[in-house]
Amino acid sequence: MTDRIYLNAVDADGNALALAVRDGRILAIGAEPPELPQAQVTDLRGHLVLPGFVDGHIHLDKSFVGDRWHPHRPAATLRERLAIEKSELEAAPPIEARADALIAQAAAFGTVAMRSHVDVDATTGLENLHAMMAAREKWRGIVDIQLAAFPQAGVMSCPGTAQLLEAAVREGAEVVGGIDPSTLDGDAEGQLDCIFGIADRLGARLDIHLHEPGMAGVEQIGRIAARTRALGLAGRVAISHAYALGDVDARAQDEAARKLADAGVAIMTNAPGDRAFPPVLRLRAAGVRVFAGNDNIQDSWWPYGNGDMLQRAMLIGYRSGFYGDAELLTALDMASHAGAAVLGLQGYGLLAGNEATFVALPAPNAAAAVAAAPAQRLLFRKGEPVGEAATAFSRPAR
């Protein structure tokens, strides 16, 4: 494979950056490249270089991307929403085709890894999982897709789902999911016994959707943290949404943050537009890993989204009132390094020895990129330019 040198880039802080690449991996990175006499040289002309983005929470099996436009249909209850979703998905193209369209769109924006929650319950069986496994295989080596078996209809309240969650992990899902153990399932201890038991027996990760509000939700967070500590699952458990942390006062937030940090439980937020959400900076200051995902994209739940994690970082910053550069970089970290850590990705980031996969953007630094979310993305995978990047910098650098 040809040695490559990428010159005249800038790093997250706006400092001069050059990368030397050999055999698809970063040989050296810094202000000046090493001497590689036979290297192919590319002038990046002042573009910002960032690692590929990580979508820590997406629902590939639900999206209508790649299908016709579906006008949003209102619903008064969760069960009504689930019924609408079921009817709309039955009339939509196959999961694999819709998932493929959304993965392609996200990859074009620079996403290199994602955790996709996939409906697994007694009403759907493992059909969605098998379709997503096929889609994952198609994108292997381009987008790293981690699958979470998600019991959308409940665990204890949907008989047979517990057995299917275990079967899903045995067949290839890396993560076992949960959802609102009290308000949806009506049996918090039963659901947590089930999903923590599967994770403990099979070595899976856990990611629990938690929409339960107020102090009831905070108490649920405490239960999840306690079980995580008891089983020694630090770093392997995440709570998605955790809306309750946006409902309660600072004292309750700090107490919950202490429990989460002590247990090693991460929090995912997409900063939803119509709901209070966890206080990102307060949690991170307490030692809680907070990461980001797009969640639903153009599906029965809401019509928004396009799969762009840099835009998601901008929205998180916007809703959180992030104005300073350090705060904007926090939003970017949530869409990159923090998500990579939660997914357990190895060799992620712009470091010597890691895979030379990165995104080049027309921005003076990373804070500016988050604030503006420029649409132009030039992709480099394993040291090689992809798509438009192959011609965008075609003129000789020397």
- CATH (domain of 31): 2.30.40.10
Q: Between the CA atoms of 166, 170, 173 and 177, what dihedral angle is there, to the nearest 10 degrees?
A: 10
Q: What is the CATH number of the domain that holds 310?
A: 3.20.20.140
Residues 265 and 309 in one domain: yes
40 has pLDDT over 50? yes
Looking at the structure, do residues 40 and 101 belong to the same domain, yes or no? no
Q: Are residues 59 and 170 in the same domain?
A: yes
Task: Let me know whether 142 and 235 are in one domain.
Answer: yes
Asked if 306 and 259 sit in the same domain, the reply is: yes
398 within a domain of the structure (yes/no)? no
pLDDT at 29 over 70: yes
Q: Over the stretch 136-172, which tens digit does the pLDDT of each residue have?
A: 999 999 999 999 999 999 999 999 999 999 999 999 9
Same domain, 242 and 383: no
Please state whether beta strands 378-381 and 358-361 pair in parallel, antiparallel, or not at all (unpaired).
antiparallel
pLDDT tens-place string over residues 251-289 = 999 999 999 999 999 999 999 999 999 999 999 999 999
Q: Are residues 191 and 332 in the same domain?
A: yes
Domain contains 241 = yes
CA 207, CA 237: separation in Å to the nearest integer? Answer: 6
Kindly state the helix (H) or strand (E) to which residue 239 belongs, with its residue range.
Answer: strand 237-241
Question: Does residue 215 sit in the same domain as residue 77?
Answer: yes
Compute the distance between CA of residue 292 and CA of residue 302 in angstroms, rounded to an integer. Answer: 18
**Is the same domain home to 331 and 378?**
no
From the number of C-beta atoms within 10 Å of its C-beta (0-12, 13-18, 19+), residue 376 rates as exposed
Count of domains for the chain: 2
**105 plus 120 within the same structural domain:** yes
In angstroms, rounded to a whole number, what is the distance separating the alpha carbons of residues 252 and 276? 15
CA atoms lying within 13 Å on the CB side of residue 7: 16
Domain that holds residue 130: 53-343
In-domain check, residue 245: yes
Is residue 310 located within the same domain as residue 354?
Answer: no
98 domain residue, yes or no: yes
pLDDT at 238: 98
**Nearest by Cα to 39 from 52, 51, 48, 27:** 27
- Is 395 inside any structural domain? no
16-22/48-51 β-pairing: unpaired
Q: Give domain status of residue 396, yes or no.
A: no
- Contact residues for 304 (Cβ-Cβ < 8 A; gap 6+): 273, 297, 298
* Angle (deg, nearest 10), helices 325-334 and 309-320: 130
Distance in angstroms (rounded) separating the CA atoms of residues 24 and 295: 31
Residues 9 and 107 in one domain: no
